[in-house]
C-alpha cells in the first residue's frame, strides 16, 4: 500500500497493521495503535478472508469500539463489503436476479441496515444485489461503482462522492417474489422493487428510506 496516498489526504501518521492470521488479530501490539487512531482503513482483497481472520477476535472488537466512539472506518472493495453485518461473500454476475445467485457470510457488523456490493456496474452485479435485498427486505442493497464512495453520517444518512454512481435497491415495499423456491436455478420474479441511482452530491436517508437531493 502506498502510504503517501493517505499522507496526501492530510494524515500525519500512517501505520500498517500486519495481520496475516488469527493469532495476529489477538496480538496486543496490534491493538494498541487502534486506541489512538482517528481513522481505520481496510484494504481490498477477499472479504471471506477478512471475516475468517477477524471474526470474533479482539481486533474486530476494537474496530467496532472505535467506530462507536466516532472513529472513521473506511474500506475499499472487500474492505467495504466486510463493514456490514450481512456481507456478500461471493456470487454470480448478471443483470437479473437468479436463485442461488448470492452467498452470505457475517461481516464486522458496523451497520446492520445495509448490504454493500462493490465494483458494481463494472462487474455486472445488479442481479446479485437484487437477490440479496430480496432475501431480507429490511436491508438496503448498496451497489458502489469503482472510483466512487459512500459516506455514512452519524444521523444515518449516506452521501455519494466520486466519478460514477451508487445504486440503491430497496425491497421494503416488495409485493411478491418467488426467490424462496430453491428447487431449481432460474430467474426469479420480484414485484414492487424500488431502485435509485445516485451520483456525486446525492444522498439517501437510511431510516426514512428516501433519496436526498444535493
Instruction: Write out the catalytic residue numbers.
Output: 77, 119, 146
Q: Where are the beta strands (DSSP E) in 72-154?
A: 72-75, 86-91, 102-106, 114-118, 140-144, 148-152
Contact 160, 198 (CB under 8 A): yes
∠ CA 206-175-189 to the nearest 5 degrees? 105
| 62's grid cell | 476494537
Write out the E strands in the chain: 39-42, 72-75, 86-91, 102-106, 114-118, 140-144, 148-152, 157-162, 165-170, 176-177, 190-191, 194-199, 203-205, 210-212
Cell output for 57: 477476535
Return phi, psi of residue 60, to 5°.
Answer: -65, -40
Helix, strand, coil share (%) of the chain residues, nearest 5: 25, 30, 45
Amino acid at each position: 500500500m502506498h502510504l503517501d496516498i493517505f499522507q496526501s489526504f492530510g494524515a500525519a501518521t500512517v501505520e500498517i497493521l500486519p495481520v496475516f492470521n488469527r493469532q495476529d488479530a489477538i496480538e496486543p501490539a496490534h491493538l494498541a495503535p487502534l486506541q489512538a487512531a482517528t481513522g481505520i482503513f481496510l484494504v481490498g482483497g477477499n472479504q471471506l478472508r477478512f471475516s475468517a481472520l477477524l471474526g470474533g477476535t479482539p481486533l474486530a472488537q476494537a474496530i467496532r469500539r472505535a467506530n462507536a466512539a466516532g472513529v472513521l472506518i473506511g474500506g475499499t472493495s472487500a474492505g467495504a463489503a466486510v463493514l456490514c453485518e450481512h456481507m456478500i461473500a461471493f456470487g454470480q454476475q448478471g443483470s437479473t436476479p437468479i436463485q442461488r445467485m448470492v452467498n452470505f457470510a457475517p461481516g464486522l457488523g458496523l451497520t446492520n441496515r445495509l448490504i454493500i456490493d462493490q465494483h458494481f456496474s463494472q462487474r455486472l452485479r445488479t442481479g446479485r444485489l437484487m437477490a440479496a435485498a430480496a432475501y431480507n427486505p429490511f436491508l438496503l442493497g448498496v451497489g458502489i461503482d469503482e472510483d466512487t464512495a459512500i459516506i455514512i453520517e452519524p444521523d444515518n444518512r449516506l452521501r455519494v462522492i466520486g466519478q460514477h454512481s451508487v445504486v440503491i435497491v430497496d425491497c421494503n415495499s416488495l409485493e411478491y417474489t418467488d426467490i424462496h423456491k430453491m428447487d431449481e436455478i432460474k430467474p426469479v420474479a420480484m414485484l414492487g422493487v424500488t431502485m435509485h441511482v445516485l451520483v456525486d452530491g446525492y444522498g439517501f436517508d437510511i431510516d426514512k428510506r428516501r433519496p436526498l437531493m444535493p
